[in-house]
Each structure stands twice: as structure tokens, then as C-alpha cells.
Amino acid sequence: MNVLKVQFYRIFAVSILFLSIAFTASAQTADEQNIDKPEFVALAKLVRHNGGSKVYISEYKVIKDFSGALADTVMVAYYFRHDSYVAPLDTVLLTLNEHGSGAPNYYICPDYNAEKGIVPAQIHYIDFKYWENCEKAESPCKPLRLLRDKSKHSYLFMPCGGTNTTIHILHERAISPLILDVNHSDCPPCLYLNGLPTGKYAARMWACNLGGSIEFNIIDL
């Protein structure tokens, strides 16, 4: 099969998918679309906007699947009138419903409303090497500064230390720590920062390949 034929079939398949999704959207009311449909939640990063007609589709790479049921990449459908809202967003928190077309890895925003299903997110990272340096005192372990954007859903990703990772996180004015306990299959450990007070935190890890303590400060922009 030559290149032109391959391109033709690919374009044809995408066109059929767009038509299927658009037909489903026009044939159902908002209430009907969401009856008994499971909800999927994930942090994701934009891959590309694929456009459409009445219904637009954007492709996202899943960074953290809170539902445990999504593929690495998902296609998300929403009404075209939300295109200007979606266009500038890069890292996002997705809240999705299954699409009735049966196409794999295709989902819809609740009521096809992108403002309900695609919201801006911010991710901070603490990498394995930094934590290991702090554990071994191989270099100065300076507290990290996390600049939190309160207009977004903010998360902190921390490294996994082995088969099971337990992290205690204590604010400077708190008595009891926040505790994260994750298996390797659920890595990375993830802390939701919205609602946490600003200030200094100490985090201590227990795991087979990594341990010790680090400090970070949450600062609001």
C-alpha cells in the first residue's frame, strides 16, 4: 500500500470518528450523556488539538491517572464553542466521561463542557537525585521553593523509593503529618497543594532504595 493510500485511509478514519462523536453529541441531551457513565480523573499534558466541526477533539498524554483505568494517551471531546478556553492550556486536570461511540481511548468532558472537564493545573517535581543527595549529604541540601499558582490545581510529585514508599509531610506549625503510602504501581507519590498553608514543610521518606528528609517551602504567587 503506497503512502497516499495510507494517508487517505488515516484521514477517512479520523473523519468517521468526528462524525460519530458529533452525531452522538447532537442526539443526546446533557442529562442523557452523563447517566451512569463512570468518571475518570487524571493529570495530563497537551499533545495536540485535532479540531473538528461541532465537536472538537484534543489529544493528551496522561501524567498521573487517579482513576487507574486510562491509557497513556487519551482523546477528549468538547463543544467547539469552548475552543478559545482550551487552546492556551498545556498542563491540565482532566475530569472525563466515557464516550458512547465505542472508540478506544476516546472520552468526553461532562456535558461536552470543556470548562468542567479540562482545567489548568500546575505540577512541581522533587526528583530522585535531589532526595538522594539530601539523604547521603553529598551536597548542600537547600530547601526547595514551590511557587504555587492559586488559579490552578497544584500538585507536588515526589520520587518513589522502592516497592513501597511511605512519606510523612509535616508543616512547621502542625502536630500531625500528612502521610503518603504508595505501591510502585501507583508511583509517583503525589501531594495536592491547594488548601495547604504556606510556609515550611519537612518530608521524610521510608523505602528500600531511598530515605531521609528534605524540606520545601510553599509560596503563593
Asked, as a colleague might, if the bond just before 120 is cis with ω within 30 of 0, I would say no
Q: Is the model's pLDDT at 16 over the cut of 60?
A: no
Contact (Cβ atoms closer than 8 angstroms) between residue 144 and residue 169? no
Mean pLDDT, range 24-48, rounded to an integer: 65
The pLDDT > 90 percentage for the chain reads 68
What are the distances in angstroms from CA 61 to CA 74, 89, 111, 145?
A: 7, 13, 22, 27
Secondary structure letter of residue 143 according to DSSP = P
What is the rounded CA–CA span in Å between residue 169 and residue 2? 58
Contact (Cβ atoms closer than 8 angstroms) between residue 221 and residue 193? no
CATH code for the part of the protein at 126-220: 2.60.40.10
| Residue 126, φ and ψ in degrees, nearest 5 | -115, 115
Q: pLDDT value at position 34? A: 42
Q: What residues does CATH 2.40.50 cover in the chain? A: 3-120
Q: pLDDT value at position 68? A: 85
Q: Is the model's pLDDT at 216 over the cut of 70?
A: yes
Q: Which residues of 113-126 are buried (b: 16+ CB within 10 A; e: fewer)?
A: bbeebbeebbbbeb
Higher pLDDT, 8 or 198: 198
Q: pLDDT value at position 86? A: 92
Q: pLDDT value at position 138? A: 76
What is the per-residue pLDDT across 119-164, written as a single tens digit (0 to 9) for each?
Answer: 999 999 999 999 999 999 877 889 999 999 999 999 999 999 989 9
For the domain made up of 3-120, give the CATH fold.
OB fold (Dihydrolipoamide Acetyltransferase, E2P) (2.40.50)
Q: What residues does CATH 2.60.40.10 cover in the chain? A: 126-220
What is the per-residue pLDDT across 66-93, written as a single tens digit (0 to 9) for each?
Answer: 988 899 999 999 998 888 999 999 999 9
The mean pLDDT of the chain is 84
